[in-house]
Amino acid sequence: MTIQQIVVDAHPYQEQIFKFSGMTIRLTLRYLPTPDAWEADLYDEDQAKEIITGLQLVTGIPLLERKNLPFFLWLTDESDLDIDPVGGEDIGGRCLLYIVSKDDNTVWTQI
């Protein structure tokens, strides 16, 4: 099992490329003032194809768990209130983003 924090901040538009589970992944994050939510796009750089567009980031559930991917995303609320990110300042502060390999997804509850 591999867990890696994806270091992000509160900038309303950000993009980064990283390697995980043998894939080169481009992550794009956007803050949308209306409906006051964060969305993510994931792109597989190796296969030159979109993984997902417009994934709303919420806490408490393994995001992309049901997709045929070797990983899922997990958003934590460090305040322990399990509140989804609200306002443009929560990502990278109160809410941290992780990518977790699916080889043993029983451990995601420990994040």
| Chain segment 8-35, per-residue pLDDT in tens | 999 999 999 999 999 999 999 999 999 9
**Residue 60: what are its φ and ψ, rounded to 5°?**
90, -5
Tell me what the mean pLDDT of segment 81-87 comes to. Answer: 88
Task: Work out the mean pLDDT of the chain and round it to a whole number.
Answer: 91
pTM of the model: 0.90
For the chain, the three-class secondary structure string (H helix, E strand, C coil) is CCEEEECCCCCCEEEEEEEECCEEEEEEEEEECCCCEEEEEEEECCCCEEEEEEEECCCCCCECCCCCCCEEEEEEECCCCCCCCCCCCCECCCEEEEEEEHHHHHHHHHC
